[in-house]
Amino acid sequence: MVACVSAAGQFIPPMIIFKRMRMSDQLKEGAPAGSLVTVSESGHINRELFCQWLEHFASVVKPTKEDKVLLLLDGHTTHSKNLDALMFAREKGIVLLQLPGHTTHRLQPLDVSFFKPMSTYYTQAIESWMRSHPGSAVTQYQVSWLINEAYERAATIGNVANGFKATGTWSVNRNIFQDHHFSAVKALVANVTSAGQNDSPTFSTPSSNIQYDVPSTSQVAKLSKLDEFKSSLNILSPLPRNNLPGKGRGAQKAVELSSSPYKNDLETSQQKSKQPKKVPLQLNKPIKQTIKKITKVNTTRVKQNQKLNDRTARNKKKIKVKDSEESTEDEEEVIVFDDSESCDSEDKENDCAKCG
């Protein structure tokens, strides 16, 4: 389910996506009023469905270039890499703002105050339906009814106000998060500085200028032993290659998706991806073996032809012989072929049929 709500408590009718190939009108029965019911192969939103939802959003909110609307999104590729959606948002006056990566559980109002009670109420609706229909199972044709029952209970102005307040989105509160919320950053130290032997080293987080104290000298010695143990453990049981640091896509930053610089960069990258790449010809193993066999046969034939030509040239030598017994006066020029070597099959075909 794709849900959207404003800080004033205005809910956009949701989009319900079923995991199936063909759409059926029975899936729409009982859905919340004005909602979109559609299907996808994976059961999740894709680029086409996001464009469809964005048109639905614009038809309800009716933004213009003079009266723009700010829409907070996560960094899913259906949002950030969807050029059609970005162009549509620019035309309609919708400003798409992408939240930083791994922060939606803190910065997304719907994740903070809506989807948890929505999931609880949906489970209660299923349990109530099964008690009233003993022996029956919930199918896709009951989902819209159950979602409507849970949606009416969860979509309240109180939940919305608490979500926007808890994230510091509205009213805007830059100091909504305390220092202990950034304790996980200690594992990713940006800068480590040492002020002296007696002074304790400090480091600052990338998101603020707050400095934290590093453990004392004795604790540092214990940490060094722990590092030695971790290094030994990595040798005995190394991490998979896919989980090694530096192999990911990098940190996702907060960026205005509908801005011109981002749109131009996305257009350039998509044009480059559409250009055909020059891939070297790679032959599979059977083709390589066939080519090698043909080359070997051709080489053997060339050698055999060379031997045959050499043998023919030797056999065609003319030898002059004098017959001194019959006549010393007359000399005959006799052509004798050298038969010192074994004759070939072609020579046998030319033998006399009577005497051989």
Q: What is the pLDDT of residue 172?
A: 92
Are 52 and 143 found together in one domain?
Answer: yes
Are 229 and 256 found together in one domain?
Answer: no
Q: What is the pLDDT of residue 255?
A: 87
**Residue 196 zone, left/alpha/beta (φ > 0; ψ -120 to 50; rest):** left
Are 169 and 199 found together in one domain?
Answer: no
Q: Is residue 235 part of a domain?
A: yes
Are 207 and 104 found together in one domain?
Answer: no
- Tokens 């009982």 locate to 30
Q: Rounded to a whole number, what is the distance in angstroms from the first to the last CA of the chain?
A: 98
Are 9 and 73 found together in one domain?
Answer: yes
Q: What is the pLDDT of residue 186?
A: 59
Taking a C-beta distance cutoff of 8 angstroms, is the pair 18, 39 a contact? yes
Q: Is residue 348 part of a domain?
A: no
- Tokens 């996305």 locate to 266
pTM beyond 0.85: no
Q: What is the pLDDT of residue 202?
A: 43
Q: What is the maximal distance between C-alpha atoms in the chain?
A: 140
Q: What is the pLDDT of residue 351?
A: 72
How many independent structural domains does the chain possess?
A: 2
pLDDT tens for residues 229-247? 777 777 777 766 654 455 5
Q: Which two tokens stand for residue 309?
A: 């030509």
- Tokens 């934290």 locate to 212
pLDDT tens for residues 3-59? 999 999 999 999 999 999 999 999 999 999 999 999 999 999 999 999 999 999 999
Q: How far apart (Å, rounded) are the C-alpha atoms in residues 332 and 180?
A: 122
Peptide bond into 232 cis (omega under 30): no
Are 157 and 133 found together in one domain?
Answer: yes
* pLDDT tier at 279, thresholds 50, 70, 90: low
Are 110 and 209 found together in one domain?
Answer: no
Are 132 and 213 found together in one domain?
Answer: no
Q: What does the chain come to in residues?
A: 356
Q: How far is CA 51 from CA 56, 57, 194, 196, in A?
A: 9, 10, 52, 58
pLDDT tens for residues 97-130? 999 888 888 999 999 999 999 999 999 999 999 9
Q: What is the pLDDT of residue 319?
A: 43
pLDDT at 131 over 80: yes
pLDDT at 194 over 80: no
Q: How far apart (Å, rounded) are the C-alpha atoms in residues 210 and 204?
A: 6
Q: Which two tokens stand for residue 126?
A: 């299923």
Q: Is residue 321 part of a domain?
A: no
Residue 37 burial (CB count, 10 A): 21
Are 263 and 221 found together in one domain?
Answer: no
Are 221 and 255 found together in one domain?
Answer: no
- Top-confidence residue, 285 or 236: 236
Q: What is the pLDDT of residue 188?
A: 57
What's the domain range around 31? 2-174+251-270
- Residue 16's nearest CA partner among 30, 41, 36 is 36
Average pLDDT value for the chain:
79
